[in-house]
Structure 1
Amino acid sequence: MQRIDELFMELPFFGSRQMRNILRDEGHFVGRNRVRRLMRKMGLMAVYQKPRTSQPHPQHKTYPYLLRGKAITKPNQVWCADITYIPMRRGFLYLVAIMDWHSRAVLSWRLSNTMDADFCVAALEEAMNRYGVPDIFNTDQGSQFTSYEFTRTLRQAGAKISMDGRGRWMDNVMIERLWRSLKYECVYLREIETGSELRRTLAWWFEFYNNRRPHKTFDGRKPMEIYQQFKPEGVPPLACPRKAA
């Protein structure tokens, strides 16, 4: 499953047949049915460059995409969120992260073994309690983000809700790049045994990413340095988000 996840990050257009072929070329003699079953379990689907970790709910309201042609020039102007699959040695967990679009700083994150909305709402509430309220909050149309609990939290806080078009992974490309960096720089380099070990590992990497990892967009400055330099009034000068519970 970890190797399939690695290949999918590199080759998101590969379906089960192509994935089986490349695995066989690498010496993993598995059948297409097994590859298909594992990809479904992991929420991976070819065609879009995005895992199917966020599925739409037919009864949930969706919102228009508000960022087309919009210049994003300051922190808390736009936040975004997404969910990804994190493989471990045995099994996997789901990870949600809240990111400030301008600075690329990760403001909060949560792990869960289910795909319900609760861990997404918890991450959102933590981010707003610590960093204020964004003008616009952008997500895909997954059921976790269109849920009543998640959208109510944003509406009550006064944030405008923006959602990507169906299948348009590029609309939320900032956080897609975050997942790629996280997996290649951290997750794929380790054999993580337990959820508690994964939490410690992610806490280390997000602290590294926010405060120590140079970002080429900012000429080597760090995401949290950019966020704190232009932070809105009333937001406390925190060095980095606390470790997620």
Structure 2
Amino acid sequence: MDQNREKHSISMMCRIYGVSRDGYNSWRRRGVCERRREDSELFEHIRSIFDRHDGCYGSPKITEELRKRGIYVGQKRVARIMRNHGLKAVKSRIYTARPGMYTHVYGITCKIEGIKVSRPNQLWVGDVTYIKLRDGSWQYLSVVMDRYSRKIVAWSLSDRRDVSLTLSSIDRAVRNRGHHRELIFHSDRGSEYLSGQYRERLRRYGITQSMNRVKNMNDNAFIESFFHQFKTERIKRLAVDSAEQLRSIVIGYMRYYNTQRSHSSIGYVSPHEFECKINC
């Protein structure tokens, strides 16, 4: 009786949807639909990219990486598959300016307002961030970035935040990239960058110094964004016990960031790839 009722229901459904009984039976025999099989295969590619970048890539960047592999698929589908399998990229929070941070106006002006960066070694940006070790001590990381390609051209690490730290990173940047006419170096109004020793070093290299406008930290948003990415993708996910371990982490991340990590603002390629395209 139940079998007859099921057959009758199937017949009615086939008439409603305009399909034959044989077609319906064939569909049932096929088991998992083609779409689900494709999603399963696609997930393996998504997971390999996600793991390769240590969980730092979301659906936009993974979609671009898939296209580089010759797999053309929509971002919404990638996002759905990631969501279904619990893959969620780590995210950083971008710094927002807070009014009233400065009470004094210094003589160095902001020279990058409205600037159009069109080539490497036109504008370098720098800053210093702090990193706390497990024992409660602090390490300070000074970085110089080429704003055109987002490439980190030099960095220095120290247990002291002073002018020696920032001098070390700018000296390395010049050694790595050479001297360039009309090069601007931009930073915040930290005391390390305001010191007479640092300003004299920039003059010796022929570099024009630029600093944030008063009460406007967003002038240096690119380097702030880098520090947030670095801390979110590495430091906050690891227990850093020593300065030696931290140095090893920084070396590995800088290599990854410059040669593998893609950036949406430069066409979903790494800084190294972006500069290679220009130079070639």
Shorter-chain TM-score above 0.5:
yes
Give CA-to-partner distance per residue, 1:59-117, whole Å, 9 cap, x none: x9641101111111111000010011112212221111000011000011111212210
Matches for 1:32-181 after TM superposition, within 5 Å: 48=98, 62-90=107-135, 91-134=137-180, 135-181=183-229
The one-letter amino acid of 1:117's match is V
Deviation at 1:10, TM superposition (A): 4.5
- Cα separation, 1, equivalents of 2:237 and 2:111: 37
Equivalent residue for 1:194, pick from 223, 242, 263:
242
The aligned length equals 185
Deviation at 1:217, TM superposition (A): 1.2
- Cα separation, 1, equivalents of 2:275 and 2:200: 26
Name the TM-score, length of structure 2 as normaliser: 0.61
The one-letter amino acid of 1:48's match is R
Deviation at 1:143, TM superposition (A): 0.7
Deviation at 1:209, TM superposition (A): 0.2
Equivalent residue for 2:262, pick from 207, 214, 218:
214
The one-letter amino acid of 2:154's match is S
Q: Which runs of 5+ in 2 are unaligned?
A: 1-91
Secondary structure in 2 aligned to 1:230?
A: helix
The one-letter amino acid of 2:121's match is N
Q: CA separation of 1:88/1:131 partners in 2, compared to 1, >3 Å: closer, same or farther? A: same
Name the TM-score, length of structure 1 as normaliser: 0.69
Larger helix proportion of the pair: 2
Is the 8 Å Cα contact of residues 76 and 100 (structure 1) preserved in structure 2?
yes
Is the 8 Å Cα contact of residues 95 and 225 (structure 2) preserved in structure 1?
no
Q: Which runs of 5+ in 1 are unaligned?
A: 1-8, 14-46, 232-236, 238-245
- Cα separation, 2, equivalents of 1:225 and 1:155: 31
- Cα separation, 2, equivalents of 1:210 and 1:99: 10
The percentage of aligned residue pairs carrying the same residue is 25
Q: Which has the higher contact order (CA 8 A, sep 6+)?
A: 1
The one-letter amino acid of 2:265's match is T
Q: Which has the larger radius of gyration?
A: 2
The one-letter amino acid of 2:129's match is T
Q: CA separation of 1:215/1:10 partners in 2, compared to 1, >3 Å: closer, same or farther? A: closer
Q: CA separation of 1:151/1:215 partners in 2, compared to 1, >3 Å: closer, same or farther? A: same
- Cα separation, 2, equivalents of 1:218 and 1:10: 20
Deviation at 1:210, TM superposition (A): 0.3
Q: CA separation of 1:63/1:221 partners in 2, compared to 1, >3 Å: closer, same or farther? A: same
- Cα separation, 2, equivalents of 1:152 and 1:188: 37
- Cα separation, 1, equivalents of 2:218 and 2:252: 28
Q: CA separation of 1:11/1:161 partners in 2, compared to 1, >3 Å: closer, same or farther? A: closer
